[in-house]
Structure 1
Amino acid sequence: MINDSFDEIEDFAEDNFTDEQDDTQLYEHYRFVVDKGQGAMRIDKYLSIHIVNVSRNRIQQAAEANCILVNDNPVKSNYKIKPLDTISVVMNRPPRELEIIPEDIPLDIVYEDQDLMVINKPPGLVVHPGFGNYQGTMVNAVAYKLKDTPEYDAKDPRLGIVHRIDKDTSGLIVVAKNAYAKAHLSAQFFNKTTKRQYVALVWGSVENDEGRIEGNIGRSLKDRMLMTVFPEGDYGKTAVTHYKVLERLGYVSLVQCKLETGRTHQIRVHMKYIGHTLFNDERYGGNEILKGTNFTKYKQFVQNCFSICPRQALHAQTLGFIQPRTGEELMFEAPLPEDMTSLLEKWRGYISNRSI
């Protein structure tokens, strides 16, 4: 028997401080090869024996959502295992226990049906309660929104947030309202079949109109609060970002980024790696004047830009996935928030009258 489960989330306080987590940290992945001498047995019973602290009911829900594969084919919970079957399982990882207090926080809900909600998250809103942010989060807001929905319990790990974006990143995020939707959506994110595009303003004029960035991402060996790229060796996890230049604005560029993987701070780290740190990204040095002139007027112009958009200029613009119940492909697009729109207008004005 082989069990290739992912490592546990490293440290609760640390990962919640940097709350844009690696997507794979939100799910558990198990792999088993059935012994040669194993007799016939329902797969839900087999897995309930071999996976610690997982109920048979939770396994059956995973099977209903096509999250249990045998020899790369989805099976139902009554499937009878055979010797040497290769079994793969993906389930959402239960979070550590926290009291979720419903709070009347406004939400920009762009879509809602019986299974899920798609929310356009504003910058500054933390997604999930954690170290230093036990209230005032998107989860608290969702708990209030769904407080009269009988089947929704904010403390139930089978419901709720499917993926995360950073506190100071704006844009689209999907919330599951029931266990079936959570399992099905979780599998889509884990298997990288969702469609996600971001828009970012970065320092410098990006040389190529489009490109692909690949490099393992892991925690910096010098500073645990930073992620970094490890181009060689086995440290970190494989990460791939595709980018396309949308607009060149002198000393900055507007780029579109498409994620092939979902690592912590992936776009922020990958763009810094190729020499184009996100504008006003304090954690990665983008809150310094990295390109431009030494003129006082220019420095004041940039400081004004920092004030207009007091966060990393990153927006989760597009989100696409399969509706769990109907099989319909859903695509959503969120317009740039006001702070990024104003920031771009400021730089366009600078370009049209470059005298500083």
Structure 2
Amino acid sequence: MKEFTIQKNDAGQRLDRWLAKTLPLLPAPLAQKYIRLKRVKVNGKGSKRDVRLNVGDQLQLYINDEFFDRPTPENAFLSLYQPKLNILYEDDQIMLLDKRPGLVVHPDEHERVNTLLTHIQAYLYQKKEWSPYKENSFAPALCNRIDRNTGGIVIAAKTAEALRVMNQKIKDRELNKYYLCVVQGRMSPPKGKLEGFLLKDEVKKQVYVTDRPQPGAKTAVTLYRTLAVEHGLSLVECDLITGRTHQIRAQFAHAGHPLIGDGKYGRERENKKYGRHGQALYSYRLEFHFATDAGPLAGLDGKCFQVEDVDFVSEYFPNYHWKEDEVH
């Protein structure tokens, strides 16, 4: 319990608004709940949220200590009362999540609270499966990343061993990640391979594709197959042999078939034509094929997970339905 005395500068405020200012990490719905449960007392008694405070009032707060901390990137998860996650799979080791386009995966200089990782932390904290306040506590971590405006499956590790094993499996290509995208025009051939070299411009946060090796350029290989063609657009499935930054977007643009909605590698006039904001790209399917011991993740071997819906498929290819056999 912590006690506060209302001073002149705080007099006249509503109780709930004083609480929001004093404890910025405490989510508003949780603050209202604590007031209802009389865990916030004014002069030793329970009170209503809209009561006006007076000079000299004594407030007793029966609230967890962590909510009295000052906000930092490390404790931002506390402010999320109802984390929003689309969980495809969860066990005591990992989580598979369908990240929506527009959501950044990690906190950065622009967004600290509304990120995929922060929502995961809040979810596990509220389930009492994780707490950063425990000694030697492992912080939930992401095993793969997806661009802000790309949607799809992200793997999160709940334990240090799961993180180590999954990262090694990804490195050894013992799982397959399939993407769906909508590109302009018709691919020729309809099924094939895009090969090249990607050179990254750190200043512009953009990559450039070259057909020949260059100093600093990394090999990029993408397998693709066309699933449907309608109205000058192609629905394409991609299997990344290499996992480079912006690989799919840059390679298809280089091949003359940019993704619709792609503001960085696409064509502005075409994007306006189709009314697409954000690249039509989704990591929609994940398959596990372990060739070596997977320890605590062995139960995933041979399993496949697929998202339930991809908005641009139903929008641009309403008659197409992908097969969902072997999906668990």
| Structure-1-length-normalised TM-score | 0.61
Q: Is the 8 A contact 2:107 2:115 kept in 1?
A: yes
Matches within 5 A, 1:1-356: 98-102=73-77, 103=80, 104-147=82-125, 148-151=127-130, 153=132, 159-220=140-201, 224-232=204-212, 233-289=214-270, 303=273, 305-306=274-275, 309-321=276-288, 322=290, 324-328=295-299, 329=301, 330-345=303-318
Distance 1:160 1:205 in 2: 39
SS in 2 for 1:289: helix
**Cα 1:281–1:99 shift into 2, 3 Å:** same
Distance 1:324 1:269 in 2: 37
- Superposed CA RMSD in Å reads 2.6
- Unaligned runs of 5+ residues in structure 2 are 1-71, 321-328
**Residue 115 of structure 1: how far off its partner (Å):** 0.2
**Residue 251 of structure 1: how far off its partner (Å):** 1.6
AA paired with 1:226?
Q
**Cα 1:157–1:190 shift into 2, 3 Å:** farther
| Cα displacement string for residues 151-177 of structure 1 (whole angstroms, at most 9, x for unaligned residues) | 564997764101101111111111000
**Cα 1:160–1:326 shift into 2, 3 Å:** closer
Q: Is the 8 A contact 1:280 1:288 kept in 2?
A: no
SS in 2 for 1:276: coil
Q: Is the 8 A contact 1:200 1:313 kept in 2?
A: yes
Identity of aligned residues (%): 28
The total of aligned residue pairs comes to: 236
| Cα displacement string for residues 224-255 of structure 1 (whole angstroms, at most 9, x for unaligned residues) | 22111132223321111001011111321110
**Residue 275 of structure 1: how far off its partner (Å):** 0.9
AA paired with 2:308?
P
**Residue 341 of structure 1: how far off its partner (Å):** 1.7
Distance 2:91 2:138 in 1: 20
| Cα displacement string for residues 62-103 of structure 1 (whole angstroms, at most 9, x for unaligned residues) | xxxxxxxxxxxxxxxxxxxxxxxxxxxxxxxxxxx9425112
Distance 2:114 2:248 in 1: 26
**Cα 1:342–1:183 shift into 2, 3 Å:** same
- Unaligned runs of 5+ residues in structure 1 are 1-96, 291-301, 348-356
